[in-house]
Structure 1
C-alpha cells in the first residue's frame, strides 16, 4: 500500500505531466513547421486542412514524395525519369495496378521499371488517376491511348479516341496514321486512311506525306485514289523518294529513287500518264531536276516493259 507521501508525490507528478501536455497542445501549429520543412520532400504541417475535398487532396499528392510508397523508373536510358506514386490511389483507379500491388501474384517491390512508354506519357496517365484531368498533346495521343488500354482505363481510352478524331488535320494525318499502325489500332488506322484516300488530291500534297515510313507509304499507295491522277501520284512519290534519300544520306539519282521506292513503283500505272500532263506537272516541277525525272521515267517504263514480257 502506497504511503501518503508517495501518493502526494504521484499526484503532483500526474498534475505536472498534465500541465506539460496542456502546454504542448496550446502551442501554435507553426511550432512544427520548421522541423517538418527541413525534410527535402515533405509538405508543410497540416497541409490537409488547407485543401478541401478528397479529389483535390489526391491531386495535390500527384508527383510528390509525400506519403509515396512506390516509384516508377520510366523510359529508356539515358532518358529515364523516376516518378513517385501512391499504391492506394493507383489501385482504386486501375484494376491492373490493383493486381500489381494487391493481387495473389502481386509484386512486393516498391520500384518498377517501365520501358514501353515515355515519361511524359506515364505522367499524363498518373495525372488522370490522381485528378481525372487529361493532359493531351497531339503527338502523344496514341501513346496515351496505348497506356489507357494497358492499365484498363476505359474512360481515358474514349477520351483519347475522341481527341484523335477531333485533332485530325491535313497537316498531321500521316503522322496519326503512322502512330495508329505503330500502336496496333487497326480501327483508327482505317479511319485515317479513308480520310487520306477520300482527300487524296490534298493529302498527297501535304508536307507530312514525305515523312511517312515506307510501310505506311505502301499502305497508302496500294489504295485506289480516284480523285488524283497517276501523274500526281508519281510526283508525290518522287517527293517522298527525295526526302528518303536525304534520310538515308545518299544522292538523289534515278537508281537511288527507284531503290528507295521499291515495290511501290509496281502500283503506278504509267500508261495512264498523259504526255501533256507529264510535261506540265513533272518536267516543270521542282521536285527533281528535269533530266533526273526523264531518266527515272525511262528506267521505270523499261522495267515495266521487262516485267510484262516476263509474265507472257
Structure 2
C-alpha cells in the first residue's frame, strides 16, 4: 500500500498530501467511537441493521471507494446517513482494517464474508489477508463453500462463449463474466450470480460497478484489482476437489451448491473417483435438496427438471451394467436402453437427442488414482528417507574409502 494518499481537507479543489500511517495512528481510538464522527452508516438489510458511527476523513484517506463516495464529483456533501446493505460482520472487519490496520477474522465464514466486502470496496490488502487465512484453513469439508464464493472473482479464467465452455475444464476451469458480476447487484439474482434465485442464500445489492467500470472511474495509476489474489485460491480449491473427490462429494454443503458451481465440478476430468456411480449419487442428493427448496414433490420427473443438463455430465458410458441399473430413476427408457446397449458393446443407430451432445464426454473416463497406492507409495518413500537420515553416518563408496585410507597413510608417513 502506498505511504501517502490524497484527501480533500479544504474543499473539492484543495488537496493535501497526508501520511496514511499518521492517519491510522490518529484514528486507532476512533473505531466504533462517536467522538468526531460526521457520518452514520446503517449497515445490514431490512431484517437486521446496525448503526455505525464513522469518520469520513478516515475512510476516504484509506480507501478509494469511500474517497469517491464522500469526496468525489458526484458526492452529496450534505448527506450524513448512508445505507450500507452489506453483512454487518464483514463490513465491521473492513472498518477495523481502515481504522486500525487490524482484522478480526477467526473463521472461514467470517473470512469469506469479509473477502466479499473487501473486493466490493476495493481493499486489496484486506482481500489478500482473507485469502491467506482461507488457504491456511482450507479442508475437504469447507472447500465447496470456498469454491462457490471465489469462482465469480476469477474473470481471467472464464470461458466467454459456449464453444469454449465445452473445452476440458481440468485445464481451464470456467468462471463468470464481468456481466455476471454485475448481476449480483440485482434483486432477482442470488449472491453467487446464478440465474435461479434461492431464498436460502443471502443476496448483495450494493455492488454497483464491475472492475472495468471502476477502473474507468478511478485513476488508472492508483487502481489495484482486489480480485487478483483470488485466482490462486480458486485453483487450490479445484486441486483439493480433485484429490479428495469422494470426501468432498460426501459433504453436506454439496446439497447447497448453486447449479453453476456444481456444473464446474461435474465437468472436470480430473475428479478422483473409483467409479462414476459416486458422481451420480451426489447429483441425486443435490436434486432432492433442490426439489425441497423449490417446494416440488420428490418425483423422478421433478428431479430431472431441476437437474436439467447437469444430469448429462455424469459419464454413464464409463459405468458397467450393474452400476447403470442404479441410475434408472433419473433416465428415460430411451436413454437407459441406449446406454445399456453401448456398455454391452453394441452401437445402436438411433441416439436419443438428449444424449447426443454429451456422448464424447460420457465415454471419457476420469483420472482416478487409488488412494491406497498413493499412501503406500508415499509411506515407503518416507520410510526410505527416514532410514537414510536416521543413521547420521556417511556412506562411503569404495573409491572414497580408498582415497581416505591413502590420505591417512600419507599423513602418518609424512
TM-score (norm 2): 0.53
* CA–CA distance in structure 2, aligned partners of residues 73 and 308 of structure 1: 51
Question: Is residue 95 of structure 1 aligned with residue 129 of structure 2?
Answer: no
Structure 1 residues 301 and 144: alpha-carbon distance in aligned structure 2, compared to 1, 3 A threshold: same
Query: 2:37–2:54: 8 Å Cα contact kept in structure 1?
Result: yes
Would the alpha carbon gap of residues 306 and 177 (structure 1) be closer, same or farther in structure 2, given more than 3 Å must change?
Answer: same
2:140–2:240: 8 Å Cα contact kept in structure 1? no
- Alignment partners' CA distance in 2, 1:199 and 1:89: 45
Q: Which of 134, 137, 141 is the aligned partner of 1:167?
A: 137
Q: How far does residue 302 in structure 1 lie from its aligned partner after superposition? A: 4.9
Give the Å deviation of 1:303: 7.8
- Does residue 1:144 correspond to 2:179, yes or no? no
Q: Which runs of 5+ in 1 are unaligned?
A: 1-52, 283-292
| Preserved CA contact (<8 Å) 1:200 1:225 | no
Which one has the bigger helix percentage? 1
Q: Return the offset for 1:258.
A: 1.3
Match of 1:155 in 2: 125
Tell me the secondary structure at the aligned position of residue 353 of structure 2.
helix
**Secondary structure in 1 aligned to 2:102?**
coil
Report whether the alignment pairs 1:307 with 2:353. Answer: yes
Conserved? CA contact 2:90–2:114, under 8 Å: yes
2:169 is equivalent to residue 134 of structure 1 = no
Q: CA deviation at 1:95?
A: 3.3
Aligned to 2:257: 212
Give me the whole-angstrom Cα distance separating, in 1, the residues matched to 2:294 and 2:235: 29
Question: 1:144-192, CA deviations, whole angstroms, 9 ceiling, x for partnerless residues?
Answer: 2233234343321210110121222111111111111355656243432
Query: Equivalent residue for 2:268?
Result: 223
Residues 1:277 and 1:79: Cα distance change in structure 2 (over 3 Å): same
SS in 2 for 1:307: coil
Give 2:40's aligned residue.
71
Distance in 2 (CA, whole Å) between partners of 1:105 and 1:57 is: 28
Note if 1:295 corresponds to 2:329.
yes
| Alpha-carbon separation, structure 1, partners of 2:309 and 2:303 | 12
SS at match of 2:41: strand
State the alpha-carbon separation in 1 of the partners of residues 110 and 124 from structure 2: 17
User: Per the alignment, in what secondary structure is the counterpart of residue 306 of structure 1?
Assistant: coil
1:67-93 per-position Cα deviation (integer Å, ceiling 9, x unaligned): 211111222223222211112322332
**SS of 2:352 mapped into structure 1:** helix
Mapped contact 1:71–1:111 kept (Cα < 8 A): yes
Report SS of the residue matched to 1:112: strand
Q: How far off is 1:132 after superposition? A: 1.8
Q: Does 1:250 align with 2:296?
A: yes
Distance 1:163 1:309 in 2: 43
- Could you tell me how far 1:103 is from its partner in structure 2? 4.6
> The residue matched to 1:147 in structure 2 has which SS?
helix
Q: Please, which runs of 5 or more residues in structure 2 have no aligned partner?
A: 1-21, 154-180, 182-226, 340-350, 358-414
CA displacement at 1:226 relative to structure 2: 4.8
**Is the alpha carbon distance of 1:258 and 1:73 closer, same or farther for their aligned partners in structure 2, counting shifts above 3 Å?**
same
CA RMSD of aligned residues (A): 3.0
Q: Sort the Cα spacing of 1:308 and 1:123 in 2 relative to 1 into closer, same or farther, 3 A.
A: closer
* Relative contact order, higher structure (CA 8 A, sep 6+): 2
- The answer on whether the counterparts of 1:70 and 1:110 sit within 8 Å (CA) in structure 2 is yes
Q: Does 1:234 align with 2:269?
A: no
TM-score by structure 1 length? 0.68
* Residue 15 of structure 1: aligned partner: none
Is the contact made by 1:270 and 1:301 (CA closer than 8 Å) also made in structure 2?
no
In the aligned structure 2, how far is the partner of 1:170 from the partner of 1:176? 10
- Does the CA contact (< 8 Å) of 1:90 and 1:98 recur in 2? yes
Structure number with larger C-alpha Rg: 1
| 1:99–1:106 Cα contact (<8 Å) kept | yes
Aligned positions, number: 247
1:296 positional shift = 2.8
- 1:98–1:307 distance in 2 versus 1, CA, 3 Å: closer
Q: Say if 2:93 is the partner of 1:124.
A: yes
